[in-house]
A and B are shown apart, each in its own frame.
Chain A
């Protein structure tokens, strides 16, 4: 996914743009929440387009563009294509941009509504029936995950790119971080349906730290160490939720169909439980 590092024009500051599609603004806010680094960032970067923070709006091309939000309106597609043309690095920030976000839950609901419509006129739709990640539409150079993103990860990616290093973030499960912090396992010890074993690290294992189950903000982790890049074992975890913790199928579906529910491993797991749900009394 990551391209080799590219050098910027000698003697010029890299031009940064921050673009927004459907989102809550929380990931952009994570940039402004770098209170200690914000002013120095302004000295190493030319913040050329960041309408939430500045009235200065320079047209591209840009060296680095952060894209927040998912594609959910017809005009988004063209706007995104234009952004892609005008930037060297296109980096998605947050679950909306990398996974379609919480608003991707419409991807299930609307499918049903569409089925009932016989002759829909797409011209009249001001909103698409789906919310999709940026990577479904254009080439993405790097993805920063999380709902919200972690500002330390963002800073690391930014300094890597400025320094000419290919950015890299860990994709392993949040359990490793949780164990390093010596948290008591909320799944094993408390019987909570924790998504930590299949969720990517990066948040700092804050949910177990707050005595509750992980709900998957950082999206699916990569699988076991033996097979890097393999999907996480969502099936075993779902079985554990159902058999050992007593979650009924609809509850298993809700666990996986959340903030990152549209990403493949979570999406497939929730689909797998739908057939079970049909034969199960939900009470």
Chain B
């Protein structure tokens, strides 16, 4: 580099693009050393945990869906699974499996959106999926059609694909007739084949960058690829029920973010498709397992960019489960089991498309929510993203600032961060000191 390089330089991405919600990145480099990495989340807090207090437990699925337009089902699933144990509701297997089908639909639409419209343009050098379609119309059309198949399944089960309306405590307000699901079967079979092609396609991308030593955290089930059930597990020996989540996982506040950073025993960890795949690869049904093996890529995946492969595997899995379920479908004898509201506390974790989603509720004797706690996947991955950047940056500091910023943004994007999800939980709190009254936003702890 000619001349004297500046001793301090700042690498900024003022607006992260192709992510859900709004955030920025600020990196400070001094004497060629990375001094500070801040994933800045300036998305406004929406105070969900606050206004859930005083609402009836039966209203919770409709309310929490509004935390995220991309993964409303995840919020509904974590909510009903946290609440139902309080009311000692036994969910019949037929309803349990329909809930998995609903979750499959969300994984399909969410993953297809991220792979084709948000993430793949990075690998092929385009600024958007629409831009990529100018040269690769067939590829983008394939992605949109897979996404549409997922959305159609969501709408069949839930009335519409964004904020579906049928999820209730105890089951569904209505379950589909066999012919309604049958009508989607051909398109889902097509999408399953297209998902296999997608996996072959993305497995051929280049995955540059240094390897990371991830602590993977996801649900782990002994019988199936996990969605709503299982223990919270890690590749370092963690295996706990959701009821013990708050003993091991702690949230902390940092000034540069409206989202709390969640840590496991004080350190960062990775939630999401890479973690799920790593911890549950043996529970993948044959089609998805064989398709993964055929790519020649071997676990563990130690680069965030490889998450596109994990998403592709999960789309194959979800479409395979959906097709097989529909082929054998007979409706449950009733759409929901009756629920008698009681007081108590309940917690659950389910697997949102972006990773582990933990909910805890305290319900009063009148059936209203007294306390709610929600820990979304992106606040769990926040610190992991910053750690990833700290490892990545020393390898690229010789590049022009704009190139570094581009690389950082690309790395962040591979996490599929959902910033809208991450910032729902701050409480507006008043602090008074002798000289003045300060108002800050911070987390309410019971």
Contact = CB atoms under 8 A, between A and B. Distances in A.
A115 to B, nearest CB: 11
B436 A126 contact: no
A39 B137 CA distance: 9
A28 B20 CA distance: 10
Q: How large is the interface on A (under 10, 10 to 19, 20 to 34, 35 or more residues)?
A: 35 or more
Interface in A8-35: 20-30, 32-33, 35
Contact of B166 (A101, A210, A254): A210
B275 interface: no
A212 interface: yes
Interface in A101-145: 101-103, 105-106, 109-110, 113, 116-122, 124-127, 129, 131
A113 B66 CA distance: 24
A155 to B, nearest CB: 15
Contact of B68 (A24, A33, A72, A103): A24
B174 interface: yes
Interface string A217-230: 10000000000000
A54 B163 contact: no
Given A25-B68, A32-B113, A207-B165, A57 B17 contact: yes
A110 B133 CA distance: 47
Contacts of A24: 66-69, 72, 420
Interface stretch (B55-63, B226-234, B244-252, B293-301): B55-63
A53 B130 contact: yes
A102 B165 contact: no
B193 interface: no
B162 A26 contact: yes
Contact of B47 (A76, A103, A117): A103
A53 B15 CA distance: 12
B343 interface: no
B50 A51 contact: no
A42 B133 contact: yes
A238 B161 CA distance: 30
Nearest to A68: B69
Contacts of A120: 430, 437, 439
A207 B61 CA distance: 14
B146 to A, nearest CB: 9
Contact of A35 (B147, B159, B439): B147
B160 A203 contact: yes
Contacts of B192: none
A215 B55 CA distance: 14
A47 B50 contact: no
A56 to B, nearest CB: 5
Interface string A197-211: 000000110110111
A36 interface: yes
A194 interface: no
Contacts of A28: 69
B76 to A, nearest CB: 13
B430 A117 contact: yes
A116 B55 CA distance: 23
B44 A109 contact: no
Interface residues of B, number: 72
A211 B17 contact: no
Interface in B33-57: 43-48, 50-51, 55-56
A147 interface: yes
Interface string A40-84: 001000010011111111000000000000001100100000000
A35 B430 contact: no
B162 A119 contact: no
B51 A54 contact: no
A116 B431 CA distance: 11
A38 interface: yes
A109 B51 contact: yes
B21 interface: yes
A39 B21 contact: no
Contact of B51 (A21, A47, A106): A106
Contact of B18 (A33, A53, A119): A53
Contacts of A282: 366
Given A73-B44, A126-B440, A210-B166, A25 B70 contact: yes
Contact of A211 (B160, B335, B418): B335
Contacts of A20: 21-22
Contacts of A25: 20-21, 68-70, 418, 420
Given A24-B420, A32-B113, A282-B366, A54 B21 contact: no
Contact of A54 (B20, B130, B165, B437): B130
B284 interface: no
A263 interface: no
A57 B14 CA distance: 12
A51 B430 contact: no
Contact of A127 (B44, B147, B160): B44
A283 B366 contact: yes
A90 interface: no
A91 interface: no
Given A119-B436, A210-B173, A55 B128 contact: yes
Interface of A: 20-30, 32-33, 35-36, 38-39, 42, 47, 50-57, 72-73, 76, 101-103, 105-106, 109-110, 113, 116-122, 124-127, 129, 131, 147-148, 203-204, 206-207, 209-212, 215, 217, 251, 254, 258-259, 282-283
5 contacts: A29-B162, A52-B18, A105-B51, A126-B45, A211-B173
Interface of B: 15-22, 43-48, 50-51, 55-56, 59, 62-63, 66-70, 72, 113, 117-118, 121, 127-131, 133, 137, 140-141, 144-145, 147-148, 151, 158-163, 165-166, 168, 173-174, 258, 335, 366, 409, 418, 420, 426, 428, 430, 432, 436-441
8 nearest A-B pairs in the assembled complex, by CB-CB distance: A26-B69, A54-B128, A206-B159, A105-B51, A212-B173, A35-B148, A148-B162, A103-B46
Given A56-B127, A121-B436, A126-B440, 20 more contacts: A21-B44, A23-B420, A24-B67, A24-B69, A25-B420, A27-B69, A29-B113, A33-B161, A35-B144, A39-B133, A39-B140, A47-B128, A51-B18, A53-B118, A102-B46, A117-B437, A118-B437, A129-B428, A204-B160, A210-B159
